[in-house]
Amino acid sequence: MQAVKLDKKTEWLEKLVRANEGRLVRYCCRFVKMEVAREIVQEGFVRLWNQNGPNIEGREKEWLFCVCRNLAIDHLRRESKVVLLNEEGVLVPETEAMLSLREEASELQKTVSRLPPAQREVIRLKYQESLSYQEIAGVTGHSVSYVGVLIHQAVENMRKQLVGAAAK
Amino acid sequence: MSLDKKLLTAYALGEARGADEERAKVMVERDPEAKKFVDELRAFSSAATADLAREPLPGERGSAPIKAEIERRTKLKSQAPASRGLWREAAVMAVVLIAVGVVGHKKILRYAGMDSPADNNPDVPTVERPVVDVQTESFFGSNGIQVQPRSLKKLPPEKHAEVFNELASLDGRSAAESSLGRCRFQIPEASASDTSSEEGTQLFREFKGASGLLIQVMAAEFPKASFHVAQGEEVTKGGGYKLMKQTLDEGPSAFYHVTSSASEPVCGVKVLLPQVDFTQADTGEVREAANNFAKKLAGTIEVK
């Protein structure tokens, strides 16, 4: 009986790893170096495994993003990197690791990179990771309403920048 | 008429619900400008999603290393009780954490100060707020130390003085010289009337919802100590974290860590002892004292 349970849990973990590992590493690379991002994501999954109870059932993705984000912030603090936490969210620059992934970034991707950090983070979570406002709020600690404001501002910013670039 | 673009953005992205959704629908139906805004935004969003999705994903390692790590920690966990070295290691990491367990059932263990030195004495040195502790959960977790919630019965009253003495001695003083000697333990039932001071009442009220264990220590006698709070967000619902944070920000009065579980009426509790400034103290002695105290307190509290 125990073995069956364990098999199911392992299957559940593998499924989540397949669906989210790359995305989580990509997300964490915006805060920390690639190898650290990988460690963080591994730690996130180990913690997920150790989670008991149904309290995260159905929202594992949001939970993983949130935990990995917090671990990345913890790492930056340990490294004495400047991490400013305010109501706008986590203010950290995109790392070189991530930029190297985007040597041939499109105009839109460059536009996203130029957004203020809090807007950039929510827009990526929305468009790139397909999280809902509610989930983004869960990951970032913002209210759902504030997530709406940030996304609206980000979209407006991006459209203006793209129109400007096209006019040139 | 000016458009509510935030609402229309949410609507275009499928995020408007209930009354908001209805309102947006009406706007779109009646106002060509609103319709144009939504259509353009949907087209933009779809292009943005496609474009950002092309950004390469880092190579994946798959689940094998994760499973190996889980296995490694499970093994460590099963060996943990036999390994005394882990506690020492914890002290080296400058945090002493005691896992005492829990309280469900609406019992609260409290250190209530007869008076708060921080309130009454302007000369009480302010403890510098430490860099947020990042070593507790992850450190203990990664070293295979599992802090399991347990049911807490009570700390026998006859042990209280002993605990105070030990606490005081961490700072190199006797209890008589320490304001800790004027503190006392209380183990009240879940009623605000059980508290013995205004501050205690407030703390109690704050934590009642969390149904947890709170150990508050008036620690003004530890001018060299700083304090850690980790994972306090978990008690946000009860308003506890805010209070903890405020207390830590405003004065050297408390250290505690309470976690609550939404799925059970039982809370896991971890008590963080002061982190003595090892740069100023005889590190070996203080570490040893802190370590011994941690063990003693953990052993003193009677658990079911």
Please report, for the domain that includes residue A118, its CATH number: 1.10.10.10
Please report, for the domain that includes residue A53, its CATH number: 1.10.1740
Tell me which residues of chain A, numbers 146 to 165, contact chain B at a CB-CB cutoff of 8 Å. 148-149, 151-152, 155-156, 158-159
Closest chain A C-alpha to B60 CA, distance in angstroms? 6
Q: Is B62 on the interface with A (CB under 8 A)?
A: yes
Tell me the pTM. Answer: 0.49
Q: B302 forms bridges with which residues in the sheet?
A: B154
In this structure, the answer to whether residues A110 and A39 fall within a common structural domain is: no
**Domain regions of chain B by residue span:** 5-53, 85-303
Tell me which residues of chain B, numbers 156 to 215, contact chain A at a CB-CB cutoff of 8 Å. none
User: Pick from A126, A151, A159: which is nearest to B44 by CB?
Assistant: A159
In this structure, the answer to whether residues A72 and A116 fall within a common structural domain is: no
DSSP assignment string, B117-167: HHHH-TTSPPPPPPSPP-SHHHHHHHTT------BEEE--GGGHHHHHHHH
**Domain-embedded: residue A60:** yes
In this structure, the answer to whether residues A159 and A117 fall within a common structural domain is: yes
In this structure, the answer to whether residues A145 and A114 fall within a common structural domain is: yes
In this structure, the answer to whether residues A82 and A2 fall within a common structural domain is: yes
CA distance B32 to B38: 10
In this structure, the answer to whether residues A130 and A72 fall within a common structural domain is: no
**Domain-embedded: residue A143:** yes
In this structure, the answer to whether residues A74 and A35 fall within a common structural domain is: yes
**Domain-embedded: residue A162:** yes
In this structure, the answer to whether residues A55 and A117 fall within a common structural domain is: no
B295, B181, B67, B175: which is closest to A48 by C-alpha? B67
In this structure, the answer to whether residues A150 and A106 fall within a common structural domain is: yes
Q: Which residues of chain A make contact with B60, given a CB cutoff of 8 A?
A: 17, 21-22, 25
Q: Which residues of chain B make contact with A85, given a CB cutoff of 8 A?
A: none
Q: Which two tokens stand for residue B28?
A: 């779109």
The domain in which residue A145 lies consists of: 102-168
Q: Is A99 on the interface with B (CB under 8 A)?
A: no
In the chain, the amino acid numbered B84 is R
CA distance B141 to B77: 9
User: Pick from B9, B47, B66: which is nearest to A17 by CB?
Assistant: B66
Q: Is B261 on the interface with A (CB under 8 A)?
A: yes
In this structure, the answer to whether residues A5 and A82 fall within a common structural domain is: yes
Domain finish residue from A87, A110, A143: A87
Q: Identify whether the C-beta of residue B252 lies closer than 8 Å to the C-beta of residue B278.
A: no
Judge if ipTM > 0.95.
Answer: no
Question: Over its length of 304 residues, how does chain B's per-residue pLDDT go in tens digits?
Answer: 577 888 999 999 999 888 889 999 999 999 999 999 999 889 888 888 888 877 777 777 777 778 887 877 777 666 654 433 333 333 333 222 332 222 222 222 222 222 222 223 333 222 222 222 222 333 333 333 333 333 333 345 455 455 545 544 544 444 444 433 333 333 233 333 323 333 333 333 222 222 222 232 222 222 222 223 322 333 332 333 333 333 333 332 223 333 322 222 222 223 333 332 222 233 344 445 444 544 444 443 333 2
Q: Is B1 on the interface with A (CB under 8 A)?
A: no
Would you say the C-alpha torsion B141, B144, B150, B152 has a positive or negative sign?
A: negative
In this structure, the answer to whether residues A109 and A163 fall within a common structural domain is: yes
Number of domains making up chain A: 2
Please give the C-alpha separations between residue A107 and each of A16, A161, B47, B119, B176, in angstroms, as whole numbers.
Answer: 32, 10, 12, 58, 71
